[in-house]
A and B are shown apart, each in its own frame.
Chain A
Amino acid sequence: MRCRRCRAPDIVIELRRHNAAFCKDCFLHHCREQVRKAIDEFDMFTPDQRILVAVSGGKDSLGLWDILLDLGYHADGLYLGLGIGDYSDESAQMAKAFADRRQANLVTVDLPTDYGFDVPSAAKITKRVPCSACGLSKRHLFNQAARQGGYDVVATGHNLDDEAAVLLGNVLRWDADYLGRQQPVLPASEDGFVKKVKPLVRLGERELAAYCVLTGIDYIVEECPNAVGNKHLGYKEALNAVEEQSPGTKNAFYFGFLARAVGLFATDTAAAKDELAPCPSCGSPTTGEVCAFCKLLTRVTVER
């Protein structure tokens, strides 16, 4: 087997969904090209805009940040410390080491230091799964940091496997509201939401892991202890079982949805969107009296 692009014999990866294999240099080129195509195809951002990359210390977000810097974009990183024991300590080190190596700007927000609570204690007090407080805090604080820092767009490391797994979950429940919003770009809104983009949707997570190994990016391999055994992982495993039998299925599932189905759910999403007003406590857009993050903050502070 030879590299699809340069015909060299020393290949480092086979991508069955593309029916292709690549040598190291051509594979890295392939990754950058897929990101460039996604940015162009979905009008994600322009070279003069400022991008805030949500960085977890994992392969996807660090790979994304690296590729955006290589493509010449103005990309800073935002690391959010969640207070999840050794996992958070190690992931923070990975994010910082990457920023130092690339001489890139890393903004850090730490839940325990800056807000006085961590994800495990929030989960206990609210009696909900840790991923609930974690997701809520991330959405709020990424948006707030982008607004305060004057960034044009927040970029996240969601890849093709993530999007296909979320799509499968949404379809299994026929969650019309979420289906209508499952787009690689969520536009900025006048009420205070910064534009959000997913430039990795054309790359699988195996490609991102390979990209990091081949470029020497050290990332946290062990995943968050709270994620193990969750539904999202089960959907990914189910899709991988199909993909092994029929390469390209994930790609066809997700991009077929974007091309032919997402528009059918847009009315459900529009109907579900209530009027937003600024949260009196932090100024973030909310449909409630105070935003969900400030509500959580009050609860964990009072009940601690």
Chain B
Amino acid sequence: MKVRLRNPRRDIDIQGPKRVRILLEELGINRESVLVIRGDSLVVGDDMLADDDEVEVRPVISGGAT
């Protein structure tokens, strides 16, 4: 799957399928500090991401670096 990260903005490829919670753990990101966006909606920790999904991991801390 394609995962967009911010600060700085970059795209990385990760093998799916994978649960959101596991994706964030593997990226070392605190789930209190981000949203995971797929299309125009949000996915939560137990949601499964498919290998062909495109998601954005968006920091929510003002000035945050994730």
Contacts and interface: CB of A to CB of B under 8 A. Distances in A.
B60 A230 contact: no
B16 to A, nearest CB: 20
A interface secondary structure, majority:
helix
A276 interface: no
**Size category of the binding interface on chain B:** 20 to 34
B37 interface: yes
Prevailing SS type, chain B contact patch = loop
Contacts of B41: 12, 24, 213-214
Interface in A216-266: 216, 221-224, 227-230, 232-233, 236-237, 240-241, 243-244
Interface residues of A, number: 37
A241 B30 CA distance: 8
A288 to B, nearest CB: 31
Given A24-B41, A223-B63, A233-B64, A206 B35 contact: yes
Interface of B: 6-7, 9, 30-35, 37, 40-46, 58-65
10 contacts: A16-B32, A205-B62, A209-B58, A210-B35, A213-B35, A221-B58, A222-B9, A232-B63, A233-B62, A237-B61
Interface of A: 1, 11-14, 16, 21, 24, 58-60, 161-162, 205-206, 208-210, 213-214, 216, 221-224, 227-230, 232-233, 236-237, 240-241, 243-244
